[in-house]
Amino acid sequence: MSDPTRRTRRGPIPALTRRGFLKTGVCTLSAAALGPGILLRSVAGAQGAPPRNLLLVELDGGNDGLNTVVPWAVDGGAYYTEYRPTLSVPESSVLKVPGTPVGFHPSLAELKAHYDAGRLAVVQGVSYPNPNFSHDYAMRIWHTGLPASPGQEGWLARYLNLHPTPAFPAALEVFDRRTLLTGETDGFLPAADSFDDVAFPSDGFHPGDAENRKNAYAAIAAGAESLPDPLGSIAATSSGLLGLIDVFSAIAPVPYVGTYPAGRLGRSLRLVVRLLVANVGLRVFHLGYGGFDTHDDQDAGGFHAGLLATLSQGLNALHADLVANGLADDTLVVVFSEFGRTVYQNGSHGSDHGSVNPVLVFGNGVNGGFATAHPSLDPGALAPDGEPAMIADFRDVFGTVLLRWLEETPSNLASIFPGHAVNDLGFLP
Residues near another protein, by CB under 8 A: 1-5, 133-137, 149, 173, 176, 178, 186, 188-193, 197-198, 200-206, 208-209, 211-213, 215-217, 219-224, 227, 230-231, 233-235, 237-238, 240-241, 244-245, 295-296, 346-348, 352, 385
Buried b (16+ CB within 10 A) or exposed e, 89-117: beeeebbbbeebbbbbbbbbebbbebbee
List beta partners, residue 336.
58
Q: Are 109 and 380 in contact (CB under 8 A)?
A: no
Three-state DSSP class for residue 369:
strand
Rounded to the nearest whole angstrom, what is the least distance from the CB of residue 44 to another protein in the complex?
24
Burial of 8 (0-12, 13-18, 19+ CB in 10 A): middle
- Determine the Cα–Cα distance for residues 17 and 201; give it in Å rounded to an integer: 21
In the complex with another protein, which residue's Cβ is closer, 75 or 296? 296
CA 345 to chain centre: 28
In the complex with another protein, which residue's Cβ is closer, 209 or 329? 209
Rg (the chain; Cα; Å): 22
Strands (E), 197-349: 284-290, 331-337
Three-state DSSP class for residue 370:
strand
In the complex with another protein, which residue's Cβ is closer, 78 or 148? 148
Rounded to the nearest whole angstrom, what is the least distance from the CB of residue 306 to another protein in the complex?
16
In the complex with another protein, which residue's Cβ is closer, 218 or 391? 218
In the complex with another protein, which residue's Cβ is closer, 186 or 408? 186
In the complex with another protein, which residue's Cβ is closer, 217 or 256? 217
Q: Which CA distances in Å does 53 have to 13, 286, 331?
A: 27, 11, 5
- Determine the Cα–Cα distance for residues 66 and 123; give it in Å rounded to an integer: 13
Residue 23's CB is within 10 A of a number of other CB atoms, namely 11
CA 335 to chain centre: 7
In the complex with another protein, which residue's Cβ is closer, 225 or 408? 225
In the complex with another protein, which residue's Cβ is closer, 7 or 206? 206
Q: Are 313 and 109 in contact (CB under 8 A)?
A: no
Rounded to the nearest whole angstrom, what is the least distance from the CB of residue 238 to another protein in the complex?
6
Rounded to the nearest whole angstrom, what is the least distance from the CB of residue 290 to another protein in the complex?
8
Q: Which CA distances in Å does 209 have to 45, 86, 184, 204, 281?
A: 44, 63, 39, 10, 32
In the complex with another protein, which residue's Cβ is closer, 2 or 47? 2
Rounded to the nearest whole angstrom, what is the least distance from the CB of residue 134 to another protein in the complex?
6
List beta partners, residue 69.
104
- Determine the Cα–Cα distance for residues 416 and 401; give it in Å rounded to an integer: 12
